[in-house]
Amino acid sequence: MLTDFYTVTDFKNVDTSIQARIKVNAEHKIFLGHFPNQPVVPGVCMMQIVKELVENETKIKLLLAQADTMKFLAVWIPSINEQIEASIAYEKKETGIMINGSLFSGDTTFFKIKAFLKIA
C-alpha cells in the first residue's frame, strides 16, 4: 500500500522508535466502498500502515502473530485528516518484533496497537 494508499512524508528512527508523518491518498479507490460519500480509513489499513513502517525500517518481512491490544479509538476521515502521525516503539526478538504504536493527529488518537509480528 505504500506507493498507492499512503505516502510517508517524514520519517525518523531513533534507536528502536519510529516517528513518521503519513499522507493518505484521499482519492484511493478503497474509499469508493468504505464508505460511499462518507470515506473513512479502514481499520485493517491502519494496522497495515504500522506493520509496513516497521518492515521498512527493519528490512524484515513480518506477519501479525499476536495482538495484545488493538484499539480503534476514532474514525479517520481522510478529507479532514489527510496527514497523520505514527509513533512506534519496537523490540527485535529471535522470531520477530514486539511493537507498541499509535496513529494520531494532534490530540486525536485513531489507532493503538501492542502486538508481536513474526518473521514471515
**pLDDT class of 118 with cuts at 50, 70, 90:** very high
**pLDDT tens, position by position, 49-66:** 999 999 999 999 999 999
| DSSP code of residue 31 | G
Beta-sheet pairing, 108-119 with 96-105: antiparallel
Q: Is 37 left (phi over 0), alpha (psi -120 to 50) or beta?
A: left
How confident is the prediction for the chain on average, in pLDDT?
A: 95
Q: Reply yes or no: is the peptide bond before residue 104 cis, omega within 30 of 0.
A: no
Question: Structure pTM?
Answer: 0.94
User: Would the pLDDT of 108 be above 90?
Assistant: yes
- b/e burial code for range 69-79 (CB count within 10 A of at least 16 → b): eeebeeebbbe
Contacts of 120 (CB under 8 A, 6+ apart): 61, 62, 63
Which grid cell is 42?
479502514
